[in-house]
Amino acid sequence: MLIDVRAAERFRGEHEPIDRVAGHVPGAVNAPLAGNTDETSRFRSDAGLRKRFADLGVADGGPVAAYCGSGVTATQTLLALRLAGFGDAALYPGSWSGWITDPSRPVATGD
pLDDT (tens digit, 9 = 90+) per residue, 29-70?
Answer: 999 999 999 999 999 999 999 999 999 999 999 999 999 999
Could you tell me whether strands 90-91 and 2-4 are parallel, antiparallel, or unpaired per DSSP bridges?
A: unpaired
**75 confidence band (pLDDT: 50, 70, 90):** very high
* 68 labelled catalytic: yes
pLDDT for 27: 98
Which amino acid appears at position 87 of this protein?
A: G
Report how far Cα 64 is from the mean position of its chain's Cα atoms. 10
CB-CB contact of 65 with 92 (8 Å): yes
Binning pLDDT at 50, 70 and 90, where does residue 10 land? very high
Would you call 97 exposed, middle or buried from its count of C-beta atoms within 10 A (0-12, 13-18, 19+)?
middle
Q: What pTM, to 2 d.p., does this model score? A: 0.95
The pLDDT, as a whole number, for residue 81 is: 98
Catalytic residue chosen out of the listed positions 28, 68, 78, 84: 68
Count CB neighbours of 1 within 10 A.
Answer: 18
